[in-house]
């Protein structure tokens, strides 16, 4: 409750944070659209990115984002969304910089390329083989 009250207080006393948040949201979402990513019809700060791929590919992809690009995003896969789709969800904040957003856009271009060229399929197959599956 204290955290929620503090956030409400900040919204009232520091309107620049809300403005900066939406500036960052628009920069991220427009940048993703400009690069040909499907972000659906979001009208909130939560930024979805839809990609085609399997669950093992999705796991390799989010690990790559986290460990090699320093980007955390949540992932949604089947049965919540149809098989063959991966939904990544990001939530930019007012504290992110333009450089952070540009790094994120570059990372997403990289992971899409790796998804399309089979890198994640090979990685997930190698992990499965190592585990004896």
28-41 per-position pLDDT tens digit:
999 999 999 999 99
Number of domains in the chain: 1
Q: Out of 18-22, 28-32, 123-127, pick the least confident.
A: 123-127
Q: What are phi and psi for residue 50, nearest 5 degrees?
A: -100, 130
Sheet of 74-76, strands arranged across: 47-52, 85-90, 74-76
Full domain range(s) for residue 93? 2-130
**pLDDT, position 133:** 62
SS3 38: strand
- Residues 40, 85: contact at Cβ < 8 Å? no
- Residues 42, 29: contact at Cβ < 8 Å? yes
- Residues 45, 91: contact at Cβ < 8 Å? yes
N- to C-terminal Cα distance for the chain?
Answer: 46
The CA distance from 16 to 23, in Å, is 10
**pLDDT, position 126:** 78
Question: What pLDDT, in 10s, does the model give residues 45-100?
Answer: 999 999 999 999 999 999 999 999 999 999 999 999 999 999 999 999 999 999 99
pLDDT greater than 80 at residue 128: no
Q: How many residues does the chain have?
A: 133
Among 10-19, 82-91, 116-125, the range of highest mean pLDDT:
82-91
Strands, DSSP E only, in the chain?
Answer: 47-52, 74-76, 85-90
Domain at 124, CATH number: 3.90.1150.10
């Amino acid at each position: 409750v204290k955290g929620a009250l503090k956030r409400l207080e900040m919204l009232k006393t520091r309107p620049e944070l809300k403005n900066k948040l939406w500036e960052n949201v628009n920069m991220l979402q427009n940048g993703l659209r400009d690069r040909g990513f499907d972000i659906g019809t979001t009208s909130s700060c939560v930024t979805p990115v839809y990609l085609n791929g399997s669950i093992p590919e999705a796991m390799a992809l989010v690990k790559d984002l986290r460990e090699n690009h320093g980007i955390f995003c949540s992932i949604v896969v089947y049965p919540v969304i149809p098989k063959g789709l991966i939904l990544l969800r990001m939530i930019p904040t007012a504290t992110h910089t333009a450089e952070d957003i540009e790094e994120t856009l570059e990372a997403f271009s990289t992971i899409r390329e790796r998804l399309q060229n089979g890198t994640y399929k090979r990685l997930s197959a190698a992990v499965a083989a190592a585990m004896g599956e």
